[in-house]
């Protein structure tokens, strides 16, 4: 088994509370192609109710030239913890955002990514971290205008 590698990042999102953002992650991820169409081309539920552990999604992303333009990911929800606002999804790697309340009308999204490399020449998934920041900002704008 290959060693587990880790990346982490965080985004402070203005004009949306921690509860608003977490509730979007939990209940409205299928809206991503509407609010972030540049990257999210489709988002469908393959199994489950769409927002609980065991749900499986099929997501098509536009991801730049290193992936040939379009990437299809099969994602499975592995953690939903309302108390700590933790929502974990697994695909090629595990992504776990934890949402905390910031100052005023803002929240802090801490993103933890765990992944295995097929070999040491495989670069870390920095493109996905950049996509996560873009997605976080788009969700915050959507929530601010639709609150």
What ranges do the domains of the chain cover?
A: 4-145
Q: What is the pLDDT of residues 3-41, one digit of tens each?
A: 777 888 888 888 888 899 999 999 999 999 999 998 899
* Residue from 108, 124, 79 nearest 12 by CA: 108
* Residue from 99, 83, 86, 80 nearest 11 by CA: 99
105 near 18, Cβ under 8 Å? no
pTM exceeding the 0.85 threshold for the entire prediction: no
pLDDT for 1 equals: 63
Provide the terminal-to-terminal Cα distance of the chain, rounded to the nearest Å: 46
pLDDT for 33 equals: 94
59-66 LR contacts (CB < 8 Å, sep 24+)? 59/32, 61/131, 62/38, 63/39, 63/127, 63/131, 64/127, 66/127
Please report, in tens digits, the pLDDT of each residue of the chain (147 residues total). Answer: 667 778 888 888 888 888 999 999 999 999 999 999 988 999 999 999 999 999 999 988 887 655 557 778 888 899 999 999 888 887 665 556 677 777 777 888 888 888 776 667 666 777 778 888 888 899 999 988 886
Which one of 3.40.640.10, 3.90.1570.10, 3.30.530.20, 3.40.1080.10 gives the CATH number of domain 4-145? 3.30.530.20
Q: How far apart are CA 127 and CA 121, in angstroms?
A: 16
- CA dist 61 → 14, 132, 143 (Å): 25, 12, 22
């Amino acid at each position: 088994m290959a060693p587990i590698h880790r990346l982490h990042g965080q985004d402070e999102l203005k004009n949306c509370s921690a509860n608003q953002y977490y509730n979007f992650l939990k209940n409205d991820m299928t809206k991503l192609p509407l609010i972030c169409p540049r990257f999210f081309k489709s988002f469908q539920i393959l199994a489950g109710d769409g927002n609980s552990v065991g749900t499986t999604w099929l997501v098509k992303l536009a991801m730049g030239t290193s992936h040939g333009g379009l990437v299809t990911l099969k994602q499975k929800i592995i953690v939903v913890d309302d108390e700590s606002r933790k929502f974990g999804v697994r695909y090629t790697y595990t992504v776990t955002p934890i949402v905390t309340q910031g100052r005023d009308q803002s929240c802090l999204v801490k993103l933890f990514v765990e992944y295995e490399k097929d070999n040491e020449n495989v670069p870390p998934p920095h493109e996905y971290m950049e996509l996560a920041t873009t997605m976080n900002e788009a969700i915050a704008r959507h929530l601010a205008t639709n609150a």
